[in-house]
Structure 1
């Protein structure tokens, strides 16, 4: 086993408080960092992370059989390869592109308007708990065609599913809780799937229920796994990205003013947010054979975690990487939401996030609505900003004060 500095561990509270201040040392001194407590390797250099995510023969997604499949209630897209992956990925992608995406943008706008309206006269809002988190759930339920009246219950089950996937270690009690959440979510979805098979609509669940692979329709288990896959992928990063976008713009008032003056800069601000503070910090893979990196070797059958936050701050990939700069020339906004993205927030290669275009549409639509409404937006005095999460990471809250701007949304409020 590699020798590890006993004074450092990515599983420590110190690392969890602010992983970014450790990334440079990891890249320079321990780019292949071994954690004996979980028998896993952590890679921090951009070139190594990109190699792992694009070499699908040497680095597989087999680890997801343990990390995700038990709560997804079946194999997820990232576990599939070949014709099956291509066909099922296309089905899901079609649910987030073209006319479907245009319909979703309208739903995103309507959901955001409804959620923000009560807070406009107050001049204060928590962009995570009051707005971002419920918005992400509501929008995803709209896409799937699920009842938003069940939002709180679905969100609670989803929290257990996400905990199972993102935890480095679970106690037996927490593991049982997470599995129970997954089982209850599966039971909730069963009658919905049955109904959509007989009476399909325009929602994504209907499309999954009526789609065929090699002339054969997907089983209920297949559809359930893909629904939960979409729920986790769409809900988990969305609220984090929105809050992080506003935090960085508030912390960089000149760039905030530039985005307000020129809304065409908003996609660049979103792309830079994803590079600077990616909501998904870890992507796991498993080695098919012994692999050698510049910083060390990894044996066959080992679990490898790609540190996306560290890779996105690698000076070999980005100039002045620890600076938030919406004008950086090495990001490439136009390609930042495609398979050609320079940053790795959506992963890359065969299993790049299927919802990248939807994520851009959602955050861009909501931010474009909020910026004119939240005039002179600033951090609420006396509040303490804190981020949490090793696997996925974002603010626990983001309380802001603002000067309410006159708008049609306000006019609808009771006086």
Structure 2
């Protein structure tokens, strides 16, 4: 029988308010934590999480058929294996690397400057809602080749898609609303796909429309699913990581000063932000056969949630893991955005995040622009910091004051 820890529930309001203060207890007392309300297991030790993420035969992504496919409107990259996964992943990766990435960085700079302009003279902005969220969506639309003028509508549909994927419990009403968002997003994308098939450009949708797998062009359903896959993967972590980066630097002024003096430290600050407070907190897998972790049996067919935030703070993997330290010797900044990363914020193994290099480029480009502009940056008077989210997590807002640029 599964053991239910009497003092911790991952689904409780207390846990949602601050998961980080529960991680050590889970790792030490309930490393294979069972939640009967959703019949799922939660793994919190680094060793166990890495094992699940890297053994894709024993722990598959079958659960995404229920958790993601209904709103993605088809199978996503994480559900694929073998030649199909290799071919389609390569197509998507090409949209975020090489010359395409250089073009995107120029567009990111222009978009960030445009969004920042109204706030520079005021000396106050909400880094999440005024800047981070709209920028993340606009950047992703640029990559895909979708109209910027539609960003608010696309963002609203995406919000419903993300809610469906990241909610562990969903009321029937919210489920219907999320599915309706996905249907409307699909209806918006299908005419675009049709036009790109007739007249392709340099954008990622055109690359998907003109690509072939086993000599056969991808169906509209395949292309739609990959577009929504990219939309979700590129927007969710970006705005959260940017805000979390500034939060940590504001709360560690000596490290903020070091980054300002030596901009080369910015990459380390981003990597440590991802380790310390990963925007994606949970990654689900399905056990294909019976498995044992720390003497606890997990039955075949069970849903297993990898707790990335807890694993990234396991003292077996990182020294003084609860400290934010951009000089951390056990992080390995150079490999933190590759398949060899020590932290698990981009996942690991076959289904590691395809946009890791792009995420680094986007956040690094924007943060490097903001740091010189936000002189003497600090929390606005009366601001109370609060985070939300169980599956993905980040600041609700981040109201900042800074010396206005004249």
| TM-score normalised per structure 2 | 0.99
* 1:32–1:295 Cα contact (<8 Å) kept: no
Once the two structures are TM-superposed, the CA of residue 405 in structure 1 deviates from its matched residue by 3.9
> Does 1:35 find its partner at 2:45?
no
Q: Which moved more, 1:292-301 or 1:12-21?
A: 292-301
Distance 1:39 1:292 in 2: 17
State the Cα RMSD in Å. Answer: 0.6
> Does 1:380 find its partner at 2:380?
yes
* 2:31–2:43 Cα contact (<8 Å) kept: yes
Structure 2 counterpart SS, 1:402:
strand
> Does 1:237 find its partner at 2:237?
yes
Residue deviations 1:109-167 (CA, integer Å, cap 9, x gap): 00000000100000000000000000000000000000111111100000000000000
1:101-250 equivalences under 5 Å are: 101-250=101-250
Go from structure 1 to structure 2 and tell me whether the alpha carbon gap of 1:351 and 1:310 turns closer, same or farther (over 3 Å shift).
same
Distance 2:375 2:5 in 1: 48
> Does 1:291 find its partner at 2:315?
no
Unaligned runs of at least 5 residues, structure 1? 407-415
| TM-score normalised per structure 1 | 0.97
Unaligned runs of at least 5 residues, structure 2? none
Once the two structures are TM-superposed, the CA of residue 5 in structure 1 deviates from its matched residue by 2.6
Distance 1:182 1:391 in 2: 19
Distance 1:7 1:362 in 2: 40
Once the two structures are TM-superposed, the CA of residue 295 in structure 1 deviates from its matched residue by 4.8
Once the two structures are TM-superposed, the CA of residue 298 in structure 1 deviates from its matched residue by 0.4
* Residue equivalent to 2:332: 332
* 1:372–1:405 Cα contact (<8 Å) kept: no
Distance 1:244 1:405 in 2: 23
Once the two structures are TM-superposed, the CA of residue 381 in structure 1 deviates from its matched residue by 1.3
Distance 1:5 1:278 in 2: 24
Distance 2:405 2:146 in 1: 34
Once the two structures are TM-superposed, the CA of residue 4 in structure 1 deviates from its matched residue by 1.2
Structure 2 counterpart SS, 1:401:
strand
* 2:124–2:402 Cα contact (<8 Å) kept: yes
* Residue equivalent to 1:271: 271
* Residue equivalent to 1:99: 99
Structure 1 counterpart SS, 2:239:
helix
Once the two structures are TM-superposed, the CA of residue 26 in structure 1 deviates from its matched residue by 0.3
* Residue equivalent to 1:319: 319
Residue deviations 1:58-99 (CA, integer Å, cap 9, x gap): 100000000000000000000000000000000000000000
The number of residue pairs the alignment matches comes to: 406
Structure 2 counterpart SS, 1:338:
coil
* Residue equivalent to 1:90: 90
